[in-house]
Each structure stands twice: as structure tokens, then as C-alpha cells.
Amino acid sequence: MRLDGNVTSQTKQREQWGTQVGFMLAAIGSAVGLGNIWKFPYITGENGGSAFIIVYLFAIALIGLPIMLSEFLIGRKTQMNAVSSFKELAPNKPWYLTGLMGVAAAFIILSFYGVVAGWALNYTFESLTGKILSVAPEELGAHFGSFISETYSPILWQLLFMLLVILIVVGGINKGIEKWNKFLMPTLALLIVIIAIRSVTLSGASAGLEFLLKPDFSALKPTSFLIALGHAFFSLSLGMGTMITYGSYVPKDQNLPKAALWISGADTLIALLAGLAIFPAVFAFNMEPNAGPGLVFITLPAIFQQLPAGQFFAILFFLLLTIAALTSAVSLLEVPVAYFSDKFNWSRKQTTWLIGTIIFVMGIPSSLSSGVMKDFKIFGKNFFDAADFLASNILLPLGGLLIALFVGWVMKSKDAVEAADYEEKDTLGRLWYYVVKFVAPVLIFLVLLNLTGILTKIFPFLSE
Ligand code: PHE
């Protein structure tokens, strides 16, 4: 008897994306998330602006894009979930553990992702009722702080958000994920363009534009390179089998390099638009760009309060944030749902409700870690930060490293190049292959090494 779900998964008819556009929008929906609109702006703010963006662009092009293509080809070649696909390509070898690690990462990431998404949902509601606009500007920090440290209310918002995620995933690939992304992603693009235009046309916006466009390399910290690379992974949803899983629903006649290029391009464009939406306004209203995680929840509401039709823009912005989070969360849930429903031959509905509920419960300590559980520390971090650190800084880069090594060293080069839709003598194909085989593993290894603190011991200048 085989231990994995291959046998059962083949007896069930596997769904596929209806159209290439549908697939790309779903993958863009996965990539564009809190990472783009909440995290990218604040890490850019903390790392000096424009110069950091340039480093980030290199990380996307050099590492992110090639690994995204690697994930797609594994998924499409096998048409299997993130675990079975490794078993299929490397039978009787431990490579499937990479897939299992991805499934574990999906549980962890979605558990705390749902918490922040719940905050976004609450802020959408407070924008609709006008509450957030009536808080005194100097009270906004305390307002946010007291909301996230409450016991019940953030959990209820997280629950509501997780219900939306579950309802979409229950619908399946075509009628759930593809259908909703086709509607939500164009909406998101429209919203962000409107907000960016509003921001860059404010008087005093030019200082913000300069911050984004005029590189000051002296503002880069040594760690900025590693932060940029780590974030490229998170933002493109790489290293945990999301793109393997989404790739497994791609019909054979679609061109993978083209898709990967469009998806990473769109993800980057949205991140840059988020920067354009936020920084010109931050500078125009004399706020600080380096406000950290509170940037969108504290700094932006202060701006909306001073903007004509501020309520309108507040609603648009938090709706945008919620939509971005929703389509990413859907892809996070799909990874374990695909795996468990294949493996145990459970129905999609049953599996989605079960896994979704478990992940919601796992997220509760993350939600409480700003309040009643704030003194509960794991390696000096509260529960939320520990979960984020474990998943984003360890599991994703490690997964990415293993995926690159798998495609570069375990698969036969001819098979890999062919599965990536390249001709054998294609220069681009060769370039891609060498990046995956040598460049990406070395760079990711450095990122991981940096975490252990070894790098800063050998090269003290890295610690600033
Ligand atoms: N890419 C998503 C974002 O930017 C997060 C994510 C990570 C989604 C990993 C799926 C897998 O917010």
C-alpha cells in the first residue's frame, strides 16, 4: 500500500483553472496581501525608502521569480498537492518533507494572518460607521492598542474573516477561488489606483515621492538586504507549496514562465502602488514614515481625518486591505485542504471546515498576545511574533531553499527545463536553471545563516 494520497487523488476528478486569466488572477490574489499593503510600506519606511525598494526589486527578479517558476512546474507536472508531488517526482526519498513543512507553515501563517486581517475588517467597519474618524489624532495609537489588546472583539473579527475564507474555499477551484479572485482582484487594483492618485496629488506630496524615488544608499542598513530577500518570499507566497498547489490546477497548454513573470510583476506593482498611496500622504501631513506595523492602522487614519472626503478614502483603503488579505488567506487554506482531502479522500467541504476551524483556534493565542497573553514569551517573543518569525523567517526561506535544490539538483536538468516550458537550448531557460541551481540556494542560505547570528559574528559590520 502506498502511504500518500496519490491513489485516492487519482480516483477523484481533479479540478483545473477555467482560463489562464483566472489562474493568473488567483495567483496574483495569493501574492498580493497584507505583505504588500501593510508590511511592504512599513519595512520600506524603516529601511530608508527608495534604496531599499531597489534592493527588493533585485530580490524579486533574481530569487523570487525563478523560484515561483520552480513551484509552478512541480505542481503542474504532477498535478498533485504539495506533498504528493514530491513523492511522485522523488519516490522513496524524504523530499516530501518539504511539502509537509509547507502544510505546517500554512497552518501557522494563516493562524496569525487571520488576526491581522480581522483588524483590517474591524477598521473597515469603523470607517463605515465613521468611528475611526472621530478619534482624536493623538489618541489613534492608544485606540489601536486598546482594540488589539481586548480579549473578545479581535477574536470575533478574526472568526468573521476566517468564515469568509472558508466559504470561498468550500466553493472549490472554479466556482470558489477562481470566481472570487476574478471579481476581487480588479476591484483591488481600482481601489489602490484611486488612493494612489489622491495621495500623489496632495500639496506637499513631493517629499514622499522623493522618499520613494530618489535612492539614498547610505540609508540602507546591512540587514536591509536580508529583510528584502525574506520579504520577497513572503510577498510572492513562496517556499510553502502555495504555488505548487495552484500550479497543480494549471492545464498543460499554459505557458509557465509568462505566468510567473506577470504574477511577480503584478505583485511588485501593487506593492509600489501601496507605497505611492501611503508615503506622499505621510509626508504631506508631516507624519513619520517609520512608524512600523502601526503605519496603516495609526498613521493613515490620522491622514484620513484631515483629508476632504476622508471617510470615503478610509473605507476604500481598509476594504482594499481586507480584500488583499482575503485572497491570500484563501491560498493559504487551499494548501492543507488539497493535501488532506487527497490523502484521506475527504470531501472538500468537510476538509475545509475542519482545517479552517483548527486554524482559527490556533490563531486565538496570537490574537491574545497583545492582551491577556502579552507576558507569555517564546524565545523572548510573544506568541504572535514567534509564529510570524518561525513561519516567515525560517520555514519559508528553508522551503524555498529546498525547492530550489530539488529542481536544480534532484530533477534531471532536461526534465526541469522542459517542465518549465523552455526549449533545451533556450538562453533564458538556461539562465533560469543556473539561478535555481546555484545563485538562489547560496543567497537563501546566507539569509538563513544570518538568522543564527553566525554571519554577524564573522562579519561584525553586519550588525550595524
Ligand atoms: N503573499 C501573501 C502576502 O503578501 C502572504 C502569503 C504567504 C500567502 C505565503 C500565501 C503563502 O500577504
Residues 144 and 298 sit within 8 Å (Cβ to Cβ): yes
Q: What is the pLDDT of residues 22-43, one digit of tens each?
A: 999 999 999 999 999 999 998 9
At 135-192, the pLDDT tens digits run 998 899 999 999 999 999 999 999 999 999 999 999 999 999 999 999 999 999 999 9
Whether ligand 1 lies within 6 angstroms of the CB of 246 is answered as: no
| DSSP letter assigned to residue 464 | -
Tell whether the model's pLDDT for residue 224 goes beyond 90. no
Pocket test residue of 273, 321, 332, 333 for ligand 1, highest count of atoms within 8 A of CB: 332
Cβ(124) – ligand 1 distance below 6 Å: no
- State the pLDDT confidence band at 16, using cuts at 50, 70 and 90: very high
Q: How far is CA 451 from CA 61, 106, 224, in A?
A: 23, 21, 13
Atom of ligand 1 at shortest distance to CA of 324? 12
pLDDT category at 1 given cuts 50, 70, 90 is very low
Q: What is the DSSP string of 178-242?
A: IHHHHHHHHHHHHHHHHHHHHHHTSTTTHHHHHHHHS--GGG--TTHHHHHHHHHHHHTT-SSSH
For residue 10, pLDDT over 60 is answered with: no
User: Per-residue confidence at 91, pLDDT binned at 50, 70, 90?
Assistant: very high
Domain extents for the chain?
Answer: 18-463
CB distance 34 to ligand 1 below 6 Å: yes
| Whether the predicted pLDDT of 373 surpasses 70 | yes
The ligand 1 atom at the shortest distance from the C-alpha of residue 329 is 8
Residue 50 CB less than 6 A away from ligand 1: no
Atom of ligand 1 minimally distant from the CA of 33: 12
Choice from 32, 56, 328 to test ligand 1 binding pocket (greatest atom count within 8 A of CB): 328
What spacing in Å lies between the alpha carbon of 392 and ligand 1's midpoint?
Answer: 9
Residue 264 CA, chain-centre distance (Å), reads 12
Please provide the average confidence, as pLDDT, over all residues in the chain: 92
* Listed residue (112, 131, 177, 86) closest to 387, CA to CA: 112
Rounded to a whole number of angstroms, the distance between the first and last alpha carbons of the chain is 56
According to the model, what pLDDT value does residue 457 have? 74
Instruction: Give the model's pLDDT for residue 270.
Output: 96
pLDDT band at 12 (very low <50, low <70, confident <90, very high): low
pLDDT digits (tens, 9 = 90+) for 100-134: 999 999 999 999 999 999 999 999 999 999 999 99
User: What pLDDT is attached to residue 7?
Assistant: 44
CATH topology of domain 18-463: Amino acid/polyamine transporter I (1.20.1740)
In sequence order, the 6+-apart residues with CB closer than 8 A to the CB of 372 are 151
Q: C-alpha cell of 236?
A: 510572492
Mean pLDDT, rounded, for 446-456: 76
Does position 8 have pLDDT exceeding 70, yes or no? no
443 within 8 A of 405, measured Cβ to Cβ = no
Question: What's the DSSP call for residue 382?
Answer: E
Q: Is the CB of 264 under 6 A from ligand 1?
A: no
For the stretch 309-331, pLDDT in tens is 999 999 999 999 999 999 999 99
Distance 231 CA to ligand 1 centre (A): 10
Q: Say which range, 259-273, 275-289, 315-329, 425-439, has the weakest mean pLDDT.
A: 275-289
Indicate if the pLDDT at residue 290 is higher than 90. Answer: no
Average pLDDT for residues 234-238, to the nearest whole number?
A: 96
Angle (CA) 13-19-24 rounded to 5° is 110
Distance 29 CA to ligand 1 centre (A): 9
**The predicted structure's pLDDT at residue 5:** 43
Grid coordinates of 438: 546555484
Looking at residue 168, its pLDDT comes to: 97
DSSP H/E element including 202:
none
pLDDT score of 230: 84
The pLDDT value given to residue 271: 96
More confident position, 392 or 239: 239
Q: pLDDT band for position 195 (50/70/90)? A: very high
Q: What percent of the chain has pLDDT over 70?
A: 96
Rounded to an integer, the average pLDDT of 234-243 is 96
User: Ligand 1 center to residue 25 CA distance, Å?
Assistant: 14
- For 343-414, where are the E strands, in sequence order? 377-378, 381-382
Give CA–CA dist 196/158, Å, rounded: 28
Query: pLDDT (tens digit, 9 = 90+) per residue, 76-88?
Result: 999 999 999 999 9
Average pLDDT of the residues in 426-436: 96
C-alpha cell at 249: 490546477
- 306 Cα–ligand 1 center, Å: 32
Q: Is the CB of 395 under 6 A from ligand 1?
A: no
Q: Quick one: which atom of ligand 1 is closest to the CA of 32? A: 4
For the Cβ of 240 lying below 6 angstroms from any atom of ligand 1, the answer is yes
In this predicted structure, what is the pLDDT of residue 462?
A: 65
What is the grid cell recorded at 75? 505542481
Residue with the nearest Cα to atom 9 of ligand 1?
Answer: 237
Q: Could you tell me if the CB of 305 is within 6 A of ligand 1?
A: no
Q: CA 432 from chain center: how many Å?
A: 23
By C-alpha distance, which of 307, 292, 387 is closest to 47? Answer: 292
CA dist., res. 393 & res. 183, Å (int): 32
Does the pTM of the predicted model rise above 0.85? yes
CB of residue 35 inside a 6 A radius of ligand 1 = yes
Test site for ligand 1: of 331, 388, 398, most ligand atoms within 8 A of the Cβ = 331
- Retrieve residue 11's grid coordinates: 480516483
Q: Are 342 and 119 in contact (CB under 8 A)?
A: no
**What spacing in Å lies between the alpha carbon of 147 and ligand 1's midpoint?**
25
pLDDT at 464: 54
Predicted local distance difference test score (pLDDT) of residue 69: 98
Nearest ligand 1 atom to the CA of 396 is 9
Within 8 A by CB and 6+ apart from 423, the residues are 429
Q: Which helix or strand (DSSP H or E) is residue 246 part of? A: helix 242-247
